[in-house]
Amino acid sequence: MTSLLPTLPGAYYTDPAVFAAEQERVFEQMWFCAVRGEDIAAAGRYRTVRVGRESVLVTRNSGGEARAFLNVCRHRGAQLCADEEGAVKRTFRCTYHAWSYDLDGRLVAAPNLVKMPDLDRVEYGLRPVHAREWLGYVWVCLSETPPSFAETVQGACVERLGDLASLERYGIEDLSLGRRIRYDVRANWKLIIENFMECYHCATIHPELVHVLPEFAGGYAAQYYVGHGAEFGPGIEGFTVDGGAGVTTIAGLAQEQDRRYFAVTIRPQVFLNLVPDHVILHRMYPLAPDRTVVECDWLYLPEVVAQGHDLTNSVELFDRVNRQDFEACERCQPAMSSRAYADGGVLVPSEHHIATFHEWLRDRLR
Ligand code: FES
Ligand code: FE
Protein backbone atom coordinates (compact mmCIF):
# COMPACT_ATOMS: atom_id res chain seq x y z
CA MET A 1 0.00 0.00 0.00
CA THR A 2 1.22 3.47 -0.86
CA SER A 3 2.14 5.77 2.00
CA LEU A 4 0.86 8.79 0.10
CA LEU A 5 -2.71 9.52 -0.98
CA PRO A 6 -3.84 12.55 -3.00
CA THR A 7 -5.78 15.44 -1.43
CA LEU A 8 -8.54 17.26 -3.26
CA PRO A 9 -7.29 19.59 -6.02
CA GLY A 10 -6.94 23.26 -5.08
CA ALA A 11 -10.06 24.31 -7.00
CA TYR A 12 -12.26 22.49 -4.48
CA TYR A 13 -11.33 25.18 -1.98
CA THR A 14 -11.76 28.22 -4.22
CA ASP A 15 -14.24 27.52 -7.02
CA PRO A 16 -17.61 29.25 -6.43
CA ALA A 17 -19.30 26.47 -8.44
CA VAL A 18 -17.96 23.82 -6.03
CA PHE A 19 -19.07 25.94 -3.08
CA ALA A 20 -22.56 26.35 -4.57
CA ALA A 21 -22.80 22.59 -5.13
CA GLU A 22 -21.73 21.99 -1.53
CA GLN A 23 -24.38 24.36 -0.23
CA GLU A 24 -27.02 22.63 -2.29
CA ARG A 25 -26.01 19.01 -1.74
CA VAL A 26 -24.37 19.08 1.65
CA PHE A 27 -25.58 21.92 3.87
CA GLU A 28 -29.13 22.12 2.46
CA GLN A 29 -29.59 18.35 2.53
CA MET A 30 -28.07 17.23 5.81
CA TRP A 31 -28.84 17.88 9.47
CA PHE A 32 -27.18 21.14 10.46
CA CYS A 33 -26.43 22.06 14.09
CA ALA A 34 -27.92 25.55 14.21
CA VAL A 35 -28.45 26.95 17.70
CA ARG A 36 -27.80 26.10 21.37
CA GLY A 37 -31.19 25.37 22.95
CA GLU A 38 -30.51 27.65 25.93
CA ASP A 39 -30.03 30.58 23.52
CA ILE A 40 -33.72 30.29 22.77
CA ALA A 41 -34.76 29.11 26.22
CA ALA A 42 -38.00 31.11 26.42
CA ALA A 43 -40.91 31.06 23.96
CA GLY A 44 -40.41 33.75 21.33
CA ARG A 45 -36.64 34.00 21.71
CA TYR A 46 -35.06 33.51 18.33
CA ARG A 47 -31.85 33.33 16.37
CA THR A 48 -31.30 33.60 12.64
CA VAL A 49 -28.58 31.46 11.11
CA ARG A 50 -27.27 30.87 7.63
CA VAL A 51 -27.79 27.31 6.40
CA GLY A 52 -26.55 26.83 2.86
CA ARG A 53 -27.97 29.71 0.86
CA GLU A 54 -30.88 30.31 3.22
CA SER A 55 -31.43 32.39 6.32
CA VAL A 56 -33.22 30.20 8.87
CA LEU A 57 -35.23 31.55 11.80
CA VAL A 58 -35.02 29.27 14.85
CA THR A 59 -37.36 29.89 17.78
CA ARG A 60 -39.39 28.17 20.49
CA ASN A 61 -43.19 27.99 20.56
CA SER A 62 -45.40 28.40 23.61
CA GLY A 63 -45.33 24.63 24.13
CA GLY A 64 -41.55 24.77 24.50
CA GLU A 65 -40.79 23.07 21.20
CA ALA A 66 -38.04 24.30 18.91
CA ARG A 67 -39.36 25.55 15.58
CA ALA A 68 -37.49 26.60 12.45
CA PHE A 69 -38.67 28.52 9.38
CA LEU A 70 -37.20 30.10 6.30
CA ASN A 71 -36.68 33.72 7.33
CA VAL A 72 -38.80 35.10 4.49
CA CYS A 73 -42.13 36.90 4.68
CA ARG A 74 -44.64 35.10 2.48
CA HIS A 75 -46.24 38.36 1.28
CA ARG A 76 -43.62 40.01 -0.89
CA GLY A 77 -40.52 38.35 0.41
CA ALA A 78 -39.02 40.77 2.90
CA GLN A 79 -36.60 39.20 5.32
CA LEU A 80 -38.71 38.67 8.42
CA CYS A 81 -36.06 39.01 11.15
CA ALA A 82 -33.06 41.17 10.33
CA ASP A 83 -31.25 40.62 13.64
CA GLU A 84 -29.09 37.63 14.50
CA GLU A 85 -30.96 37.20 17.75
CA GLY A 86 -33.85 38.68 19.63
CA ALA A 87 -37.20 38.00 21.22
CA VAL A 88 -40.82 38.54 20.28
CA LYS A 89 -43.86 38.28 22.53
CA ARG A 90 -46.27 36.24 20.50
CA THR A 91 -45.75 37.03 16.84
CA PHE A 92 -43.12 37.83 14.25
CA ARG A 93 -44.28 40.98 12.51
CA CYS A 94 -42.89 41.87 9.12
CA THR A 95 -41.68 45.46 9.08
CA TYR A 96 -42.78 45.98 5.47
CA HIS A 97 -46.61 45.61 5.41
CA ALA A 98 -47.07 44.18 8.91
CA TRP A 99 -48.06 40.60 8.17
CA SER A 100 -47.74 38.74 11.47
CA TYR A 101 -46.92 35.08 12.12
CA ASP A 102 -47.25 33.18 15.38
CA LEU A 103 -44.50 31.06 16.94
CA ASP A 104 -45.69 28.06 14.92
CA GLY A 105 -45.38 30.04 11.70
CA ARG A 106 -49.11 30.54 11.08
CA LEU A 107 -50.19 33.77 9.45
CA VAL A 108 -52.34 35.36 12.17
CA ALA A 109 -52.73 38.98 11.19
CA ALA A 110 -52.35 41.34 8.28
CA PRO A 111 -53.78 44.80 7.57
CA ASN A 112 -57.14 44.48 5.80
CA LEU A 113 -57.14 40.74 6.27
CA VAL A 114 -60.96 40.68 6.45
CA LYS A 115 -61.11 42.00 2.89
CA MET A 116 -59.08 38.98 1.68
CA PRO A 117 -61.29 35.99 2.46
CA ASP A 118 -59.46 33.89 -0.10
CA LEU A 119 -56.09 34.33 1.63
CA ASP A 120 -55.24 30.89 3.03
CA ARG A 121 -53.48 31.50 6.34
CA VAL A 122 -51.94 28.06 6.39
CA GLU A 123 -50.70 28.21 2.82
CA TYR A 124 -49.21 31.65 3.48
CA GLY A 125 -47.68 30.71 6.80
CA LEU A 126 -43.90 30.68 7.16
CA ARG A 127 -42.16 27.88 5.29
CA PRO A 128 -41.23 25.32 7.96
CA VAL A 129 -37.81 23.70 8.25
CA HIS A 130 -37.33 20.36 10.04
CA ALA A 131 -36.00 20.91 13.55
CA ARG A 132 -35.14 18.69 16.48
CA GLU A 133 -33.14 19.02 19.67
CA TRP A 134 -30.25 16.77 20.62
CA LEU A 135 -27.31 17.37 22.96
CA GLY A 136 -28.99 20.65 23.89
CA TYR A 137 -28.73 21.99 20.32
CA VAL A 138 -31.39 22.62 17.71
CA TRP A 139 -30.50 20.74 14.56
CA VAL A 140 -32.30 21.78 11.37
CA CYS A 141 -32.64 20.22 7.95
CA LEU A 142 -33.75 22.11 4.85
CA SER A 143 -34.46 18.95 2.90
CA GLU A 144 -38.12 17.96 2.59
CA THR A 145 -37.05 14.39 3.30
CA PRO A 146 -34.22 14.62 5.86
CA PRO A 147 -31.72 11.81 6.13
CA SER A 148 -31.96 9.55 9.18
CA PHE A 149 -30.78 11.51 12.21
CA ALA A 150 -29.80 8.26 13.93
CA GLU A 151 -27.60 7.22 11.04
CA THR A 152 -26.02 10.48 9.96
CA VAL A 153 -25.66 12.48 13.19
CA GLN A 154 -25.77 9.99 16.05
CA GLY A 155 -24.11 7.41 13.83
CA ALA A 156 -21.01 9.60 13.54
CA CYS A 157 -20.68 9.54 17.33
CA VAL A 158 -21.17 5.78 17.50
CA GLU A 159 -18.58 5.30 14.78
CA ARG A 160 -15.98 7.29 16.75
CA LEU A 161 -16.79 6.42 20.34
CA GLY A 162 -17.96 2.86 19.86
CA ASP A 163 -21.44 3.48 21.26
CA LEU A 164 -23.88 6.27 22.09
CA ALA A 165 -23.93 5.49 25.81
CA SER A 166 -20.41 6.84 26.30
CA LEU A 167 -21.51 10.16 24.80
CA GLU A 168 -24.69 10.26 26.87
CA ARG A 169 -22.68 10.02 30.10
CA TYR A 170 -21.48 13.61 29.50
CA GLY A 171 -25.12 14.79 29.73
CA ILE A 172 -24.38 17.52 27.18
CA GLU A 173 -28.03 18.63 27.02
CA ASP A 174 -27.90 19.55 30.71
CA LEU A 175 -24.60 21.44 30.63
CA SER A 176 -24.52 25.25 30.64
CA LEU A 177 -22.74 27.62 28.36
CA GLY A 178 -19.66 28.90 30.17
CA ARG A 179 -18.10 30.72 27.28
CA ARG A 180 -18.67 31.24 23.56
CA ILE A 181 -16.15 32.55 21.09
CA ARG A 182 -16.91 33.31 17.47
CA TYR A 183 -14.06 33.05 14.98
CA ASP A 184 -14.30 34.59 11.54
CA VAL A 185 -11.92 32.35 9.60
CA ARG A 186 -10.67 33.34 6.14
CA ALA A 187 -10.54 29.76 4.93
CA ASN A 188 -12.68 27.14 3.23
CA TRP A 189 -14.71 24.97 5.60
CA LYS A 190 -13.01 21.80 4.34
CA LEU A 191 -9.57 23.04 5.38
CA ILE A 192 -10.98 23.42 8.89
CA ILE A 193 -12.46 19.90 8.90
CA GLU A 194 -9.32 18.33 7.47
CA ASN A 195 -7.23 20.12 10.05
CA PHE A 196 -9.50 18.98 12.87
CA MET A 197 -9.32 15.39 11.68
CA GLU A 198 -5.53 15.09 11.84
CA CYS A 199 -2.89 15.61 14.48
CA TYR A 200 0.17 15.50 12.25
CA HIS A 201 0.38 19.26 12.93
CA CYS A 202 -0.04 18.99 16.72
CA ALA A 203 3.64 18.83 17.61
CA THR A 204 4.42 21.85 15.42
CA ILE A 205 1.64 24.27 16.27
CA HIS A 206 -0.01 23.15 19.54
CA PRO A 207 2.62 23.26 22.34
CA GLU A 208 0.00 23.68 25.11
CA LEU A 209 -2.19 20.84 23.82
CA VAL A 210 0.75 18.47 23.44
CA HIS A 211 1.85 19.34 26.96
CA VAL A 212 -1.53 18.12 28.25
CA LEU A 213 -1.87 15.22 25.79
CA PRO A 214 1.70 14.02 25.12
CA GLU A 215 0.62 11.23 22.78
CA PHE A 216 -0.44 13.93 20.28
CA ALA A 217 3.24 14.60 19.68
CA GLY A 218 3.27 11.33 17.74
CA GLY A 219 0.95 12.85 15.13
CA TYR A 220 -1.90 10.36 15.36
CA ALA A 221 -5.23 11.98 16.19
CA ALA A 222 -7.46 10.57 18.92
CA GLN A 223 -10.14 10.07 16.31
CA TYR A 224 -7.87 7.86 14.22
CA TYR A 225 -8.80 4.87 16.39
CA VAL A 226 -12.38 3.93 17.23
CA GLY A 227 -13.17 4.48 20.89
CA HIS A 228 -9.75 5.88 21.69
CA GLY A 229 -9.35 8.89 23.93
CA ALA A 230 -5.99 10.62 24.30
CA GLU A 231 -4.71 10.32 27.86
CA PHE A 232 -3.57 13.27 29.98
CA GLY A 233 0.17 13.23 30.60
CA PRO A 234 1.64 12.34 33.99
CA GLY A 235 1.31 15.28 36.39
CA ILE A 236 -1.45 16.88 34.31
CA GLU A 237 -4.38 17.71 36.57
CA GLY A 238 -6.90 19.00 34.08
CA PHE A 239 -7.62 20.04 30.50
CA THR A 240 -6.35 23.57 31.03
CA VAL A 241 -3.78 25.80 29.34
CA ASP A 242 -1.09 25.00 31.93
CA GLY A 243 -2.22 21.49 32.87
CA GLY A 244 -3.44 22.75 36.27
CA ALA A 245 -6.69 21.59 37.84
CA GLY A 246 -9.94 22.08 35.97
CA VAL A 247 -13.40 22.47 37.49
CA THR A 248 -15.91 19.92 38.82
CA THR A 249 -15.87 16.67 36.87
CA ILE A 250 -19.07 15.57 35.17
CA ALA A 251 -20.57 12.90 37.40
CA GLY A 252 -21.28 9.51 35.92
CA LEU A 253 -18.40 9.30 33.48
CA ALA A 254 -16.88 5.87 33.10
CA GLN A 255 -13.40 5.08 34.39
CA GLU A 256 -12.01 5.04 30.84
CA GLN A 257 -13.36 8.56 30.28
CA ASP A 258 -11.48 10.08 33.19
CA ARG A 259 -8.24 11.93 32.32
CA ARG A 260 -8.95 11.55 28.61
CA TYR A 261 -9.85 13.67 25.61
CA PHE A 262 -12.21 12.32 22.96
CA ALA A 263 -12.96 14.02 19.65
CA VAL A 264 -15.77 13.44 17.16
CA THR A 265 -16.42 15.02 13.77
CA ILE A 266 -20.10 15.11 12.85
CA ARG A 267 -20.37 15.92 9.17
CA PRO A 268 -20.74 18.41 7.77
CA GLN A 269 -20.11 21.14 10.37
CA VAL A 270 -19.73 19.98 13.99
CA PHE A 271 -16.69 19.08 16.09
CA LEU A 272 -17.26 17.64 19.51
CA ASN A 273 -14.51 17.58 22.15
CA LEU A 274 -15.08 15.67 25.37
CA VAL A 275 -12.98 16.02 28.52
CA PRO A 276 -13.86 15.07 32.12
CA ASP A 277 -15.03 18.50 33.28
CA HIS A 278 -16.35 20.13 30.12
CA VAL A 279 -17.42 19.74 26.52
CA ILE A 280 -16.34 21.97 23.65
CA LEU A 281 -18.60 22.06 20.62
CA HIS A 282 -17.70 23.81 17.35
CA ARG A 283 -20.31 24.74 14.76
CA MET A 284 -19.15 25.94 11.37
CA TYR A 285 -21.12 28.31 9.17
CA PRO A 286 -19.56 28.32 5.69
CA LEU A 287 -20.27 31.77 4.21
CA ALA A 288 -18.06 31.81 1.11
CA PRO A 289 -15.46 29.56 -0.53
CA ASP A 290 -12.80 31.37 1.50
CA ARG A 291 -14.74 32.33 4.62
CA THR A 292 -16.18 30.28 7.48
CA VAL A 293 -17.56 31.51 10.77
CA VAL A 294 -16.92 29.07 13.62
CA GLU A 295 -18.93 29.39 16.80
CA CYS A 296 -17.29 27.52 19.66
CA ASP A 297 -19.11 26.76 22.91
CA TRP A 298 -17.48 25.71 26.19
CA LEU A 299 -20.07 23.80 28.24
CA TYR A 300 -19.79 23.03 31.97
CA LEU A 301 -21.93 21.68 34.77
CA PRO A 302 -24.67 24.25 35.51
CA GLU A 303 -23.41 24.80 39.08
CA VAL A 304 -19.92 25.57 37.80
CA VAL A 305 -21.29 28.34 35.59
CA ALA A 306 -23.83 29.56 38.15
CA GLN A 307 -21.21 29.82 40.91
CA GLY A 308 -19.01 31.92 38.66
CA HIS A 309 -15.94 29.65 38.74
CA ASP A 310 -12.92 31.07 36.96
CA LEU A 311 -12.92 29.37 33.57
CA THR A 312 -9.99 31.32 32.14
CA ASN A 313 -7.40 28.51 32.16
CA SER A 314 -9.94 26.01 30.96
CA VAL A 315 -11.17 28.12 28.03
CA GLU A 316 -7.74 29.35 27.09
CA LEU A 317 -6.40 25.92 26.16
CA PHE A 318 -8.80 25.29 23.31
CA ASP A 319 -9.05 28.96 22.41
CA ARG A 320 -5.32 28.84 21.71
CA VAL A 321 -5.72 25.56 19.83
CA ASN A 322 -8.47 27.15 17.73
CA ARG A 323 -6.39 30.20 16.92
CA GLN A 324 -3.37 28.06 16.06
CA ASP A 325 -5.52 25.85 13.83
CA PHE A 326 -7.38 28.66 12.09
CA GLU A 327 -4.17 30.55 11.44
CA ALA A 328 -2.79 27.43 9.73
CA CYS A 329 -5.98 27.11 7.65
CA GLU A 330 -5.73 30.78 6.68
CA ARG A 331 -2.15 30.22 5.59
CA CYS A 332 -3.28 27.41 3.28
CA GLN A 333 -6.29 29.20 1.77
CA PRO A 334 -4.46 31.65 -0.56
CA ALA A 335 -2.25 28.81 -1.81
CA MET A 336 -5.28 26.79 -2.90
CA SER A 337 -5.43 28.91 -6.07
CA SER A 338 -1.72 28.55 -6.80
CA ARG A 339 -0.55 26.51 -9.79
CA ALA A 340 1.56 24.61 -7.29
CA TYR A 341 -1.61 23.17 -5.80
CA ALA A 342 -3.68 22.69 -8.97
CA ASP A 343 -3.42 18.90 -8.55
CA GLY A 344 -3.59 19.12 -4.75
CA GLY A 345 -1.09 17.81 -2.24
CA VAL A 346 -0.63 14.53 -0.39
CA LEU A 347 -1.89 12.79 2.72
CA VAL A 348 0.73 10.96 4.78
CA PRO A 349 -0.27 7.79 6.70
CA SER A 350 -1.42 9.60 9.84
CA GLU A 351 -3.74 11.65 7.60
CA HIS A 352 -5.09 8.79 5.49
CA HIS A 353 -8.49 8.87 7.20
CA ILE A 354 -9.02 12.32 5.65
CA ALA A 355 -9.34 10.52 2.32
CA THR A 356 -12.64 9.04 3.53
CA PHE A 357 -13.92 12.60 4.04
CA HIS A 358 -12.87 13.46 0.47
CA GLU A 359 -14.57 10.35 -0.92
CA TRP A 360 -17.71 11.16 1.02
CA LEU A 361 -17.73 14.73 -0.32
CA ARG A 362 -17.11 13.72 -3.93
CA ASP A 363 -19.90 11.21 -3.62
CA ARG A 364 -22.33 13.87 -2.45
CA LEU A 365 -21.33 16.28 -5.20
CA ARG A 366 -21.55 13.67 -7.94
FE1 FES B 1 -43.78 41.20 4.65
FE2 FES B 1 -45.24 42.59 2.95
S3 FES B 1 -43.31 41.72 2.62
S4 FES B 1 -45.68 42.11 4.96
FE1 FE C 1 -5.04 21.39 15.57
Q: How confident is the model at residue 227 (pLDDT cuts 50, 70, 90)?
A: confident
Ligand nearest the Cα of residue 113 is 1
Write out pLDDT tens, residues 111-146. 998 899 899 988 999 999 999 999 999 999 999 999
Rounded-to-integer distance, Cα 257 and Cα 247, Å: 16
Ligand nearest the Cα of residue 323 is 2
Residues 6+ apart with CB under 8 A from 356: none
End-to-end CA distance of the chain: 27
Give pTM, 2 decimals: 0.96
CATH number for the segment(s) 31-146: 2.102.10.10
Please list the residue range(s) of the chain that carry CATH number 3.90.380.10: 1-28+149-366
Write out pLDDT tens, residues 42-61. 999 999 999 999 999 999 99
Please list the residue range(s) of the chain that carry CATH number 2.102.10.10: 31-146
Instruction: Give me the residues paired with residue 231 across strands.
Output: 260
What pLDDT is stored for residue 224 in this prediction? 62
Q: List CB-based neighbours of ion ligand 2 within 5 Å.
A: 325
Residues 6+ apart with CB under 8 A from 82: 95
CATH number for the segment(s) 1-28+149-366: 3.90.380.10
Assess whether the C-beta atom of 75 lies below 6 angstroms from ligand 1: yes
Closest-CA residue, ligand 1 atom 2, reads 97
Ligand nearest the Cα of residue 203 is 2
What's the whole-number average pLDDT of the chain? 96
Write out pLDDT tens, residues 154-190. 999 999 999 999 999 999 999 999 999 999 999 999 9
* Candidate of 57, 72, 80, 96 to mutate for ligand 1, largest count of ligand atoms within 8 Å of Cβ: 96
